[in-house]
Amino acid sequence: MGEEKGNVKWQMNQKCATIGFHANPGSKAVKTRVSLFVTCIVDQVFPQVGIAMTQVLERLGYPVDFPAAQTCCGQPAFNSGYPEEAGIVARHFLNTFRDSEYIVVPSGSCASMIVHHYTDIFANEQKTLEQARSIAPRVWEFSRFLIEVAGVEDVGASFDGVVTYHDSCHSLREMHIKEGPRRLLSKVQGLTLREMEPAEECCGFGGTFSVKFPEVSGGMARTKIESILKTEAGTVVSVDSSCLMQIQGAIDRARLPIRTMHLAEVLAGR
Amino acid sequence: MTGQPSETINQTLGDARLQLAIYSATNRLMTHRAGAVRADLLPDYQELRTEANQLKKHTIEHLDHYLELFEKNVIAHGGKVVYCSDSQEVADFVLGLAKERGAHLIVKSKSMTTEEIHFNERLEKHGLEAVETDLGEYILQLAHQRPYHIVAPALHLTRYDVAEIFSKNLGVENEVVIEKQTKIARAALREKFLHADIGVTGANFLVADSGAVVVVENEGNARLTTSAPKIHITVAGIEKLIPRAQDLGVFLTLLGRSATGQPLTVYTSFLSGPRRNGEIDGPDEFYVVLLDNGRTKLLADPEKRQSLYCIRCGACLNHCPVYRKIGGHNYPWVYSGPIGAIITPQFHGVLKDPWLPFASSLCGACAEVCPVKIEIPKLLLKLRSEVTDAQRRQGVGGVERLAFGIWAWVMTHPRIYLMLARIGGIFLPLLPKVGPLGKWASQREVPKLAKTSFHQWWKAREVPK
Amino acid sequence: MVESARGAQVNSREVVLGNVRKALDRAAGLLPTTLTAPRLKIPILDRGRYTTLFGQNFEKLGGKSFFVREPREVAPILSELLQGKRAVASNAPFLAACGITGLPQVQSGFTDREALRAACVTADVGITSADYALAETGTLVMLSSPEEPRLISLLPPVHIAVFPQSRMLANLDELLAVLPNPAEQTSSMVLITGPSRTADIEQILVRGVHGPGEIYAVIV
Ligand code: SF4
């Protein structure tokens, strides 16, 4: 495929010895291919996040592929009380990514759905359960992949300004992602990270919760924005686009000069 | 759709004073807890949680054994155990006893279990006077309200509200100084304690190997309730058992810290039977009412029975961003917050308030702080699917189910997905009811679908560069 | 009435226990699986430091503590504290040994419930000993007994506990190791950690709502 050539070139340009040791210890040459699962929301609403993620991974020398049959992880149905319907979509995911060695996801929430909840959905279906169990260790939330697999903290990005980091709930509490994104941000040239208080409180998105209880959800978003405002940061960064959609929506409604960015977008910046 | 939540939610959201009261109270409780479980002060906090969870799991899974052991030991110390299936039986028992002993005045210390069964109202109907003695509960009783929070029952009221309630009910002048309000209550309740015939308390723990009732509190009202009157009745749910007195090391270490950040609450009373030979004070009669009231229904589900591990510390309420918005009274039952959201549907059936398990962003803050590690979000998810199942059996909620059916079909047919995506229709079937976009837009700007999806971008770049 | 109530109880007992067993799918009389040993963590500390630690924690809670070397040093401290006040003291032998019961302000020797209660209602101060004290939390542990009734540490607005240093334990876990089953010793064990308090109105801390708002510990 075309991009492979490009990747080889990238590899030549990078100091490969320092990275990718998990994938191919000691080797300066070929790295294991990673498969992108961009999630339905990134695909449809925030493709720039997927593009940024692709750029970062390719700059690090990873051959990237994109299984074209991918759609959604099934979480919307699962969280709305329809595990069967979620199971149908989950099965599709399992089939689509059956052969992928590394599945990198720009969302802690979708990654958690696959890693933790597929086994709940298929608890009584032995064969699919096995499949779900075998795929779980291959699923990597983007920031964790960078730190734990690629072994990098400094991806050579630069950014001009003050940012604050929002801990999205599923990344934080289900995937235990807390320090990684902060370490990556701290290595970005020109970027100042200023913590909001509390960073760990929910933004109020919650999937269909946001439309079933719009006033409560909106209230939670406004509380979040108050915490953001206190930092005087111009940008809010997170590893989940759905939270950012909620936060940005409320920011725009309040006509505030703050923007939201996915971590991948910051790391792709030069 | 999933039924209608309380209409007063929006009132609560719009009441700035109330919002501030809830926020500052829960903030304070969160800060106190965080300070008390800090790794340098309580290095084995996580192990204690695991231990507490295992102890509760063990007890609940062998509950019949521990109930009988507890009963045996209560009797050995001269007390009596009364099993009750429901609130009616509790009322019958207490009324019968009161009549036989010629009792009229009952003092009560804070007990969620008796709130559950409308104990006071039932007794009052039969001419008995039942007085709440916890300051917060006393205020609420005067105001005819139910607790707003399982640990801080009156957290929604300000000193001005209290002043109004006191002047209306106690005939005192408008008093807005909190210290003085406390004195007024102390004096009024002191009279009640000294004249009460029966003291009724809840229990934080029932200790099987000792036949003991453990009550924790800060004010001293539970001590007075159990020391001054001649009869002490404990009303407790059957799930309150723990195997051994020595297990209190784990539970007390966690309870006070999780609730209010106190390493130990001011008073922890460990009560086993009536006063013994030669003792000058203490009750002559000691009863423990073991209440089912629906708990055995929860017990039957191997996964959901963990809801019975709860030690009512209130931490999940304080940390719940939904509770912090909607407060305690918008929950349909006396138990509010995350724990209320998982036990109410199990006690009342999932179709009574079908919206309840959905009123959560599933952020998981509750489970993170729960000292007995109840998997609250997981149970909410399970209850959600039970709601949709029950609705299907009833033939309701068809629109949403159909929508998710269509959605699942689209999501498993990439070509259709891509086609719909191009016309921006991908998220439409997802939305639960006509007008969800409007609901989104009522609070937030609607995000624009990207001009080029990632799928399209990728396809375009696959052409060799 | 009582008969029928009792009859109903027997019935409900079987109903409730039956429902529990049905829900758990267990037959009557089954023993539980064995339980791991209780988790009790007792720090290894220099015992001499317990008293200081107790004092610090006790004062942090709003109490006041005194340390004296000899029992005879107690009475002067109490005379000071009791100036212009009336006190009720328990029948604990240690109080007599310290000469407290002999003080003019102090009433003691009650054996009758009503008399004791009447005295406690009007007294300004209640004086007791303590069966144990927990250094780590600044806690007094009181076991009720003929010598040590419950109301003295509860009804008067001030509580003074006088006890020998030998009763000092590290923490709650050590107490539970010393008293693995408190019910065998007493009908009522109370752990007192600080003065009575409430934060029920606006989360503002107020002391002395139902129990004593002031507490003192005199450690000999
Ligand atoms: S569910 Fe857990 S956190 Fe919530 S009140 Fe019960 S014990 Fe506390």
From the CA of B346, how far away is ligand 1's center (Å)?
16
Mutate to test the pocket of ligand 1, among B331, B374, B376, B380 (most ligand atoms within 8 A of CB): B374
> Closest by alpha carbon to B237, among B270, B202, B211, B209?
B202
Domain ranges for chain B: 9-296, 399-462
SS (H, E, C) chain C: CHHHHHHHHHHHHHHHHHHHHHHHCCCCCCCCCCCCCCCCCCCCCCHHHHHHHHHHHHHHCCCEEEECCCHHHHHHHHHHHCCCCCEEECCCHHHHHCCCCCCCCEECCCCCHHHHHHHHHHCCEEEECCCEEECCCCEEEEECCCCCCCHHHCCCCEEEEEECHHHEECCHHHHHHHCCCHHHCCCEEEEECCCCEECCCCCCCEECCCCCCEEEEEEC
Question: What residue type is assigned to position C146 of the chain?
Answer: P
Residue C157 has which token pair? 């607005």
- Judge contact between C169 and C132, C-beta under 8 A: yes
* C191: phi then psi, degrees, rounded to nearest 5: -100, 125
Supply the pTM of this predicted model. Answer: 0.93
Establish if A67 touches chain B: CB-CB under 8 angstroms.
no
Q: What is the DSSP-derived secondary structure letter of residue A32?
A: P
Per-residue pLDDT at B239 exceeds 70: yes
The structure tokens listed for B119 are: 């104990």
pLDDT reported for residue B183? 95
CB atoms within 10 A of CB B398: 12
The predicted structure's pLDDT at residue B378: 97
Tens digit of pLDDT for each residue in B139-181?
999 999 999 999 999 999 999 999 999 999 998 989 999 999 9
Mean pLDDT for C151-168 is 97
User: What tens digit of pLDDT does each residue of C58-114 get?
Assistant: 999 999 999 999 999 999 999 999 999 999 999 999 999 999 999 999 999 999 999
For chain B, say whether A207 makes contact (Cβ under 8 Å).
Answer: yes
Residue of B351, B404, B416 to mutate for A, most A C-beta atoms under 10 A: B404
Q: What is the pLDDT of residues A147-168, one digit of tens each?
A: 999 999 999 999 999 999 999 9
pLDDT in tens, B94-149: 999 999 999 999 999 988 888 888 888 889 999 999 999 999 999 999 999 999 99
pLDDT at A19 over 80: no
Query: B360 with B380: CB under 8 angstroms?
Result: yes
The mean of the pLDDT values for chain A is 90
Q: Which residues of B touch C151 (CB under 8 A)?
A: 227-228, 281
| B400-452 confidence digits (pLDDT tens) | 899 899 989 999 999 988 888 776 655 554 454 445 777 888 888 888 778 88
What is the pLDDT at residue B3? 52
pLDDT digits (tens, 9 = 90+) for B7-44: 789 999 999 999 999 999 999 999 999 999 999 999 99
Average pLDDT score over residue span B237-264: 97
Judge: B432–A212 Cβ closer than 8 Å, yes or no.
yes
pLDDT value at C51 more than 70: yes
Q: Give the span between the Cα atoms of C47 and C62, in whole angstroms.
A: 24
Q: Mean pLDDT over residues A202-211, rounded?
A: 94
Q: Could you report the per-residue pLDDT of B270-300, keeping only the tens digit for each?
A: 999 999 999 999 999 999 999 999 999 999 9
Residue B461 has a pLDDT of: 85
Identify the CA nearest to A61 among candidates A103, A29, A25, A106: A29
CATH fold group of domain B9-296: Rossmann fold (3.40.50)
* ipTM, two decimals: 0.95
Q: Distance between alpha carbon B171 and the CA centroid of its chain, in Å?
A: 33
Please report the domains of chain A, with CATH numbers, ordered by start residue: 29-147 (3.40.50), 153-268 (3.40.50)
Residue C7: predicted pLDDT? 52
What pLDDT is stored for residue C120 in this prediction? 97
Which tokens in the block code for residue A262? 């996915």
Query: What is the number of alpha carbons within 13 Å of residue C9 lying toward its C-beta?
Result: 21
Ligand 1 mutation pick, B53, B55, B254, B313, max ligand atoms within 8 A of CB: B313
Concatenating the DSSP letter of every residue in B253-267 gives HHHHHHHHS-SS-SE
Cβ atoms within 10 Å, residue C193: 25
Phi then psi dihedrals of residue B246, to 5 deg: -65, -20
Kindly tell me if the per-residue pLDDT of A11 is higher than 60.
no
Contact yes or no for C211 and B266 at CB 8 A: yes
Q: Which residues pair with A224 in a beta bridge?
A: none
The predicted-structure confidence for B200-218, as pLDDT tens digits, reads as follows 999 999 999 999 999 999 9
Q: What is the residue-averaged pLDDT of chain C?
A: 93
Best residue in A79, A216, A262 for a mutation probing chain B (most B CBs within 10 Å): A216
pLDDT number for residue A8: 37
Q: What is the pLDDT of residue B299?
A: 97
Which domains does chain C carry?
Answer: 47-219 (3.40.50.10420)
Q: Which residue has the higher pLDDT, B219 or A29?
A: B219
Q: Where is pLDDT greater, at C152 or C4?
A: C152
pLDDT score of A91 = 97
Most distant CA atoms of chain A, gap in Å: 55
Distance of residue A236 Cα from the nearest chain B Cα, in angstroms: 16
What gap in Å lies between CA A120 and CA B383, rounded to an integer?
14
pLDDT at residue C1 in the model:
37
Lining residues, ligand 1, CB within 6 Å: B 258, 310-316, 339, 369-372, 374
Closest CA to A148 of A18, A21, A242: A21
What residues in C contact B253, CB-CB < 8 Å?
A: 172
